[in-house]
Structure 1
Amino acid sequence: MKCCSPRIAPIVKGDRFYLDLCPNNDFERKQMLNILYASIGGSLMYAQILENPDMEHWKAANKVTRYFKAFGGKLQSEVEIQAPAAKFYNFNRKQLEHLPNISTHINGAKGDWQNVGFVKQWEFTIACIRWRKKKSAKAKIESIDDENKAITYSVFDGEVSKNYKSLKAIIQVIDKEHGGGGIVKLTYEYEKQKEDITGLSPQSILEFGIKVTKEIDAHLVKN
C-alpha cells in the first residue's frame, strides 16, 4: 500500500453502477466465483459499523479504495464480426499458429497452444502515443469454455511484465440473435506495477485486440 497515490476521491461524479454490468451468462457467473468481491465489500462494511472507528480506520479503508482505482482495472469492448461465431472461435481455439500470416500486427509465434496450461510466445507490433515498436510477450491458457465459446489467457513476460503485475485477456464469441455473424467480447483485467504507464497502456492493449480481431474476421470472411 506504500505506493498508493493520493486522490481527491476513489469514486468520482459520473461513475455509474447498474444491472447491465452484472454477469449476463454462465461463463461470466463462473468468473465471479473466483473473485473475492463479497469479502472485500464485507470487510469495508464491517469497518463502517464499528462502534468506535478512528482516523486510522478511515485511512486504511481509503487506501484500499484508492489502490483499486489507481492500479487495478478492467476494460471491455464488443466487436461485431461478419464471420460465423463458431468459425471465429474455432480459429482462436485451434488455428492461431496462422495468425502471423494474417495480421499486420503479429510478427511471429512460438510454442504449443490448444490445451489449458500451454504457453505461446508472441512477437507483435503495437502503437502507443509516443512510439510504435516490436514487442514480445507470452500467453498462457488459463481456461477454455467451449460451451460458451470463451478462452482466458494470462499474459506476461517482456513489455507486459515491466508494466503489469498481472494481465488477463478473455475472448468470448457470441452468436447474433438475428442474422449471421457474431459478437466478439474482449475483456482485459489488469493490475499495474505503478499508476502512470507511459508505454503499454491498458487502452493501447484494448485497441490492439480490436485491430487483430477485425483482421481475423476479414480473413475468415474471404476464406
Structure 2
Amino acid sequence: MKSILLYFIGVLTFIIILCGFGIFLFAHSFDLDENKILKDSRAAFKREVFKKEIIAKSDEIHNMCIFLTRNADSLLFYNVKVNYVETKNNGVISRQPMKKDDFYRFSINKENFISYSGPKNLRDSIQYYLDKINPELILFFEVHSIKNNHNSFNNEQGNVDMYFNVEKKDPLNPNYYLSHYITYNQINSGQVLEIDNIRSNLKRDTVLSDRLIYSIEVSPYAGL
C-alpha cells in the first residue's frame, strides 16, 4: 500500500512539473516585443472604422437600452435567483444566494438562448428588441444597477454596455484585442488616440444619440 501511495505521489508531482513547464513555454511563445505590439495595435486602430450596420440600428439599440435600464431591478433579482451556492452543515444542504452583482450579463451565443435566460416575464420583450437589432450582431450586453454604480449620467437610472460581433482584419495576430461596443447612460472616459506603452488602450468614440456612445477600442497584448 505504501509503495502504491508513493507511486501516485511521484506521478502527481511529475504531472504538476510538466504542467508548470508547459505554462512557461506557452507564456513565452508569444512575441512580447513592445515595439512590434504597439506598431500592430496602432495600425489596427488606424484602419478600424465604425460599422455602418451598427450605426444603422442606433434607434433600435437606444430603445432596447431604455427598456433594459427600466427593468434593471427585475434582471438583477433574477441574477440572484439563478446564482446560488450549496453548503453542507451536519448533513443538511442549504442553498444560499451568492453575493448580488451590480450588473446582469446576457450572452448571446446559443440557439434558443432566450428560452432559458432572463426572467420569464421579460423574455418576449428582450427577444423583440434583439430581433429588431439582429441578434447575430451582438456578443453580449450588461445591465448595471444604480446601487454601487457611480458611472451613470442619470443617477436615477442604471446603464448598459453592449458588445458587438466584429472580427479583426487579421484574426491570427495575437498582438492586440479589438472591441466594438456601445454604452448607454454611462460617463465616458474619453478618447485615447495615441499610446506609448502596451498597458494602455486606444479608444475612439462617436455619439449616436442622447447618452448613446459607440466606441472602438484596441487593447495591446500585455502578457498573461
**Structure (1/2) with the larger strand percentage:** 1
Larger radius of gyration: 2
Shorter chain as normaliser: what TM range? Answer: under 0.3
Normalised to the residue count of structure 2, the TM-score between the two structures is 0.27
Using the size of structure 1 for normalisation, the TM-score is 0.27
